[in-house]
Amino acid sequence: MDMASVDLQNFRQEYSKGVLIEESLPEEPFPLLLQWLEEAVQAGISEPNAFTLATADSSGQPHARIVLLKEVVVPFLFFYTNYESAKGVEIAQNPKVSATFWWRELERQLRVEGTAQKASEEKSNTYFLSRPYGSQIGAWASPQSQPIKREELMSRWQLYMEKFAEGEVPRPPYWGGYQILPHYVEFWQGRPNRLHDRIIYRRRGTSWEKYRIAP
């Protein structure tokens, strides 16, 4: 296909599936955040817990990738990864992160900004033991974010399949959870004529400020 012939400017979609009225919303963001997650699940959205995680390296260059939210325990959002991956290294250098959920079927976007830190050893162990066997072996086999040939990756896979052929697979010491503590949450609901609803929650000390911003 000749991309020069694709007129991206003419892609349009009107939004009309929802409305946000700030006076009827909770004073803190977490009840609505949990409600939106539940409604995404009920809507049958594929991987409703997928979000774009943005981090920045030591030069200030931002990096973004899709990860999966695995739990919300107010006030934290939890995801899991290799501590030695690019995102893990960047979080160690700069704990400020941003998370963006997009639920197209519901015409909704959720943005969360905050700081990330490692979850407890206990929580990481508990989650790792809940993973399928293949995912557990994959965590051992993959030196995440490092250059590797496919043959080497599969060789490492076979090595750890044999090493942990029987019994419980232990969690790798370089793999575990992160918890995001939000200080900014934006709920975006698509509306007609691009007059979208954008409701902001911003943490001020121990309380939250709630307000609307222009689309």
105-135 pLDDT, tens per residue? 999 999 999 999 999 999 999 999 999 999 9
Is the link from the previous residue into 95 a cis peptide, with omega within 30 of 0? no
Residue pair 63/87 in contact (Cβ under 8 Å)? The answer is yes
Question: What global pTM score does this model have?
Answer: 0.94
| Average of per-residue pLDDT across 133-156 | 97
Q: Which residues lie across from 74 on neighbouring strands?
A: none
Strands (E), the chain: 50-56, 62-68, 71-73, 76-82, 96-103, 108-118, 175-189, 197-204, 207-212
Give all domains of the chain, ordered by start, each with its CATH number: 17-122+175-212 (2.30.110.10)
Predicted confidence at residue 1, as pLDDT, reads 53
Which run of H or E residues covers position 129?
helix 121-130
- Give 51's contacts (C-beta < 8 A, 6+ positions apart): 66, 67, 68, 69, 99, 100, 101, 110
User: Would you state the torsion angle of the CA atoms of residues 65, 68, 72, 76, taken in this order, to the nearest 10 degrees?
Assistant: -30
Please say if the pLDDT value at position 3 is more than 60: no
| Average of per-residue pLDDT across 140-155 | 97
Q: Which residues lie across from 68 on neighbouring strands?
A: 50
Work out the burial of residue 183: count CB atoms within 10 Å of its CB; fewer than 13 is exposed, 13-18 middle, 19 or more buried: middle
pLDDT digits (tens, 9 = 90+) for 5-62: 788 888 888 888 999 999 999 999 999 999 999 999 999 999 999 999 999 999 999 9
User: Would you state the torsion angle of the CA atoms of residues 60, 103, 35, 120, taken in this order, to the nearest 10 degrees?
Assistant: -40
| Average of per-residue pLDDT across 91-106 | 98
Please say if the pLDDT value at position 137 is more than 90: yes
Predicted confidence at residue 5, as pLDDT, reads 75
Q: Which residues lie across from 64 on neighbouring strands?
A: 54
User: Would you state the torsion angle of the CA atoms of residues 95, 81, 90, 200, taken in this order, to the nearest 10 degrees?
Assistant: -40
Residue from 208, 183, 185 nearest 20 by CA: 185
Q: How far apart are CA 200 and CA 22, in angstroms?
A: 9
Please say if the pLDDT value at position 201 is more than 80: yes
Predicted confidence at residue 162, as pLDDT, reads 95
pLDDT digits (tens, 9 = 90+) for 47-95: 999 999 999 999 999 999 999 999 999 999 999 999 999 999 999 999 9
Q: Which residues are catalytic?
A: 194
